[in-house]
Chains A and B, each alone.
Chain A
């Protein structure tokens, strides 16, 4: 007796795991006798003979729509407000008189704005540098994409940037998607990995493939009538040849079988060879009986099945024994990692930002030095949290720096009025003196709030802003931009 699996493998079909045991048979629901058939006949043939039933059952027609009957509906020509509009354009439409006039315009919700990705200078230099694109052009691209709501044909039409290269649609799409992808990948992500990957996938763009596809489409559409006719004729010819070939092969196969039997080999006929080896393997497998039901149903090639007797790889088993498996490839025999306590391996923020990161976390009620349950998963979560906090602290630092630069420039602009250079210097000194006394104490007190998650304005920037007055005028230590600004002033 051949099992279903044997037949399948003989036919070179994929082995499927045996069907789950049939569910407990529910008592057949009492089937109602269809109309148009006598009770005796129905009890004889049962509900299964569908053809009979289908023939005998009366055709069921759709109920006639109830038109024009019932109460009359009144329609009105009414003005309405579209909540999605920013202008105050007033439009009218027909609406049921019974509808609430204050109701929100039902199509307003479809005005969905795509997420506009923006990036800071720092992010640009770190992730988004590209030889083909300048930052200015990338900025322009991101703006125009937002303006025209990712309608690429419109964008391409309006795209007008004095770039050295003519941009094709693929160029701008590719750049836009690449920028978005890189930003998503490198920024801390609030949700789980699956949603991140999903979003990343939505920005996948294969430029070469797209170019190729368009070329194909163009050539397909560009054929002449004669070419199409010729192609079709050729196609029919090929089909015919293939059919002939197949028939010929089958005949030859039959002949060989009748003459030489199963040992004939049949070297040319691929299908049969595969079926044969499949049969042979199957015989082997049957001998080994015991049936690995959970072994993957991969096609067995060459018949050499190596099975290393290791610990069964089974998640339930692993969970029970607290086993985690790591990818073995790549691990060398180098050093053995000694036994450790999970909490020894708690992640630690980078030294440069550690105090601020830990302060941020403390505010959120999380201690990064101790966990209640330092399990593998929780340690990984903590790592993600610390990464996010580090990134936050670094962003704030950059904001502070930019703030400082802005203050410097503002002061410079403010002072470049009628005052002469000498007076400027003196002014600056005075302001500086006045500030240092009270300013520093102030700043010390506020420093705690500087990294506060909830604070809206960093106090450090205020502190720097105060100092900036002196820095800009007295050319001592300062940031690059300050010095550059001062020099320009001197030249002037």
Chain B
């Protein structure tokens, strides 16, 4: 079936006018997703995008698939019901740092631990955009915003650390402006069975412009970004590499002939999450230096939807297909008349 499909980017564009601010990073992500979806080989009608509330959550309106723009923070819960009752669908969640990590934090962690077959795209711009510029759960400490004129006091979440702590089986990070990388991560997420959390650094040019410039500016990005490739030594900026210290923590150092064989080889499939977690802690939350991008973790674990379906099948095997009359007439009964 799938090979006969000849869908193009255009097929995934809805007839609705896109209404983000000019220059918003969401445009780039939308374009990347629209041009990526055809390669899934999945018919449009079998794809569903579910979102919560926030700028990013308008996303489903612009895709010519099935879609639901729901309520703040609840998209993972709604998508869980859909995915687990319709395992054959390809269900995607689009959310933001406020939607996923603040009001919806509970649903996000539980979707991840259950390993529901959802692809969760978390647009992280480190600010509240739709409510016009308050700090978010990923904003750096001391952030001056409308609601924090003297600087925010909250320590930020590290979304990928949180996801790994929540037993996520797939964790990745990418950047709105790097379409090729973004699509490579989407591809890996789509191929993964179970929950996939993809953090996408996304620029809000109105309320938090330049938040990720360190990772985009040609003069700084090489030394700030650490691209991850499964099975490859983690090296960047020509001579830089990631090493493991004796206490297990990771650090960055210059690679020399003497230490070259000790550069950490990235293993996204490692069952133990320790190294993946350590990678999430490598970046400096303020300067974003040493930010790994790519797939940090991708391990096999049975998807919730499949397990649920298997239980239904097993129940039929054990008890036989449900017989309504027999169910209702079960237990002690007596006859009148």
A, B: real partners: no
Q: Which residues of B contact A (CB under 8 A)?
A: none
